[in-house]
Amino acid sequence: MKKKLLVSALLTSSLLIPALAADYVIDTKGAHASINFAASHLGFSVLAGRFNDFSGNFSYDKDNVSAAKIEVIVDTSSFDSNHTKRDKHVRSDDFLDVNKYAQATFISSKVEDKGDGKLAIIGSFTMHGITLPLTIDAVKVGEGDDPWGGYRAGFSGTATIAMADFGFKKDYGKVDLTLHIEGIRQ
């Protein structure tokens, strides 16, 4: 009996069983996440906006950051620059061509811990039918219990893409992306 208890205790010990990354769903329903963009408007000003509809999930373990993974799916028709006529044009085949390319995706392949809560999230970004590597410079904002009995983790990040790389008919240069992601542990 003592041997069975000892074996059972050893098998369940955290020393023998590595901690597993927790799985999170990005909290878009509570509006605790956003995908924002900023681009030059003809060299005269900055056009800013967001994608209103997206979903995703991630796995994260603070003790094993390199095992983290993230996947985000963006509804390209939710492009919103707060100007109806411009939004319609950007959704057209001159740019996003949302009738043909309804989604943009990011799937991580590697996460590098840069120290002090800084991360490099490396993966593949697909937009307008073209997949290219993309690195998101991110920072962990925090994690912990929420007031509703759940557990959350949050990150912010930035990346820059070039419109020409994605085959748009019109090219007005680079687009800066700013991401704020808060996930609810499942």
Q: Is the domain 19-185 a CATH 3.90.870.10 member?
A: no
Distance CA 113, CA 118 (A): 6
Q: Sorting pLDDT into bands at 50, 70 and 90, what band is 20?
A: low
Token couple for 157: 């990040």
CA distances from 79 to 8, 61, 166 (A): 54, 32, 16
pLDDT beyond 80 at 39? yes
Inter-residue contact 109 to 131 (CB < 8 Å): no
Question: What pLDDT score was predicted for residue 38?
Answer: 97
Q: Sorting pLDDT into bands at 50, 70 and 90, what band is 15?
A: very low
The pLDDT tens digits of the residues spanning 119-151 come to 999 999 999 999 999 999 999 999 999 999 999
Question: What pLDDT score was predicted for residue 10?
Answer: 38
pLDDT beyond 80 at 185? yes
Distance CA 4, CA 112 (A): 41
Task: Give the list of residues 6+ apart from residue 43 with CB closer than 8 angstroms, or none.
Answer: none
42-67 as b/e: b if 16+ CB within 10 A? eeeeebebebeebebbbbbeeeebee
Residue at token pair 């949302």: 98
Domain spans, the chain? 19-185
Distance CA 79, CA 55 (A): 14
Distance CA 60, CA 121 (A): 12
Across the chain, mean pLDDT equals 90
The pLDDT tens digits of the residues spanning 57-112 come to 999 999 999 999 999 999 999 999 999 999 999 999 999 999 999 999 999 999 99
Report the predicted TM-score, pTM, of the whole model to 2 decimal places.
0.86
